A and B are shown apart, each in its own frame.
Chain A
Amino acid sequence: MHLQPKFLFPGQQENEQIHLVTRQHWFILFKHIVIWLVFVVFLFIFDSSIAPAYPSLSAAPAEQFVNFVKTLYIMLLVAGLFTIWVIYYLNFQIVTNERIVDMTQKNLLHHTTSELHLGRLQDVTAEIKGVFGTFFDYGNVYVQTAGEQARFQFDNIPDPQNVAKLILDLYEKLPAEQKVLKE
């Protein structure tokens, strides 16, 4: 979802205006949670099908051991859900009147911040593909640059076409001296 651009981000320049802060579409988070739910269902399958089939698991001394394993399993499930949400929350992109900032959290211990000055923009492409992308209006935006990083990529963001349009409009508003001459 597009957030209200009212807050500051680290490294923001003076007089720099935030026009957009965006993350992956909520459906991507939903898909990850559905996969996580499959592991939750294992617990219910165990209680409803496996435990009744093996009565010894519900009697001492196995019962206490099974309870212990189930508690450990639930701890891992909770940690997994928290990780899914943290990775989703910490991956976002910011579009200002001067640049594009891409905050990427690849895993808990790998955080990258990439910046692209709008003046180095060469091409912007919006892409929507697949059934869910079409119905929920999310997709990718590719930003071709003249910099060291050849292509900036926004993955699975909502309303990619308007995001691409916004970036192009901001580029057009840049003073001519800030634009890198296109080859």
Chain B
Amino acid sequence: MLIFAKLVFYFLMSAITLYALISVYALIRFAQSKALALIVSALFLIIMLSLFGAAVGNFRQIPFEQFSFFY
């Protein structure tokens, strides 16, 4: 079940990452001002990377063995 939780976690992270990359691509592709698009995209990706790091850290701290339904 722990493996299942990890699979769900990485699936969620992959989906969010894919969505973020698609939105960045759409912005850079169709934006009038490429400079503004790049700056906003960089800011967005930095924030998302930070949150991704926090999510990974939080996930690793979850004591799955203490949740009885996992075992």
Contacts and interface: CB of A to CB of B under 8 A. Distances in A.
Contact of A92 (B20, B32, B44, B62): B32
Interface of A: 7, 9, 21, 60-61, 64-65, 67-68, 71-72, 74-76, 78-79, 82-83, 85-86, 89-90, 92, 103, 105, 108-109, 111
Given A71-B55, A79-B23, 16 more contacts: A7-B33, A9-B32, A60-B63, A61-B63, A64-B61, A72-B55, A82-B20, A82-B40, A86-B26, A89-B27, A89-B31, A90-B27, A90-B31, A108-B22, A109-B22, A111-B30
B58 A71 contact: yes
A79 B20 contact: yes
B71 to A, nearest CB: 13
B41 to A, nearest CB: 9
A86 B29 CA distance: 11
A67 B60 CA distance: 11
Q: Which 7 pairs from chain A and chain B are nearest by CB?
A: A68-B58, A61-B66, A71-B55, A64-B61, A61-B63, A75-B51, A64-B62
